Each structure stands twice: as C-alpha cells, then as structure tokens.
Structure 1
Amino acid sequence: MTDDGVAQTRGSLWSSVATLFATSSTLVCCAIPAMLVALGAGAALSSLVSVFPQVVWLSEHKEALFAISGAALALSGWIQWRNRTAPCPVDPRLRDACLRTRKASARVYVVSLGFYLVGGWFAFVQPLLG
C-alpha cells in the first residue's frame, strides 16, 4: 500500500497551518489594538504602530482581510472534511503518523477558527455595541 493517506493528511495539515497564519492577521489588525486600548495601553499601541506601520494598513483593509481569511478558512475546512475518512497506510508506523497528523491538523484548524472569530468580534461586532 502507498502512503497516499499520509500525503493527503499532510496536505490537510499544511492547509490548516496556512489558514492559521491568514487568520492570525485578523488578530493583529483588530483584536490586539482593541485590547490594548481597552486596557488603557494607548501608548503601547502607539509604539506598536510606530514599529509596525503595516498594522494601520491592515486595519484600513479589514473587510478584504476578513474575506481572504474566511475563504482560506472555508477551503481548509473543506479539505479537512474531505480527508476525515481518507485511508491511512497499513504499516503501523505510517498509520500512527497519519492519525497524529490528522489530529494535529484538526487542532490547528480549531485554533484558526478561534482567531478568526475573536478578530471578527473586535472588528465588526464590538464597535456596534459601544
């Protein structure tokens, strides 16, 4: 038997990691600045923006950022769903590696989803409440 199950699961892991990076940008643009201001750390936010002026650009383009991150999250979720029952190799070592990679991929996806939801809350919902 080939290691196609391992390759499919590894591809699923890489898509989840890419989604993690895409959705973490939603935290940088929206959640972290809002949290700093809410904690009274405006000077820290000012320092952050002076060191990383790209934060302002990300905040100005948050709709596109969330659309791209959401598309990456949806694609990764679809790949996760498609590969959830992919066969793993018969060799016990490869099978265990396949199952571990599948579980790690699912965990990374859940963390990515959490980042996206937290960023979305601070970018779109919280401004409407206060």
Structure 2
Amino acid sequence: MATFSYSDEDVLLTTSHAVPRREVAEHLGIVVADVTPGRNIGKDIAGGLRDIVGGRSGSWEKTLADSQQTALDELLEEATELGADAVVAIDVADEALGGQGGMMNVKVVGTAVRLD
C-alpha cells in the first residue's frame, strides 16, 4: 500500500502512522474535514448518461478531486490552529448521500501530532 504525503511549509499530512526519522512527542487530537460539493444539473445529466452508456464522468471526477483537495486544506488549517507539526493516519473517504442521484461527501480524518 502506498503512503500519501502532502505538506505545506509547516505541517506534514500523511496516511502513514509514523513520520520517518521523527518521534511523536504529543497527540493533539483528531482532526476532521467534511466537504459536500453542491449539485449541478449538467454534471448530473452527464453522469447519468455515462451510467447508461458506460465510461467515466470527467466532470464528476474533477469535482471529487477538488473536494478532496479542499478537505485536505481544511484539515491542514485545523491542524495548524492546534500547533501540530503533522497529521498522521489520515483516512480519506468519499460517500454518496441520499442514495442514487444524491450528493457526494468527502470526509478526511487524521490525528494531529507534535513531533520531536
């Protein structure tokens, strides 16, 4: 399994439970970010057609990728407010809300830590 890492200049975000060559000095708490993009009738129609004829919906994939990035940015902001050096054990989950034709939600959860 590959490890995801994303970092600004101050806080490292990683799916790993550890940071190489660094020790966790303090757990600051769980940080969570939720992003639910608004519905778009054009994307809904195009996505529905893709369901019928097959293929990928590029517009929904872009929306999902943008939502994931927004959630990571929000997680980074929350961790920075706590004084964290890193957020470890990050899990990114995408889920449909309200069944078929419902909205999408992106949830990102991790543990904010201070490193030695």
Q: What's the TM-score, normalizing by structure 2? A: 0.31
Higher helix share: 1
Rg (Cα) greater in structure:
1
Q: What's the TM-score, normalizing by structure 1? A: 0.29
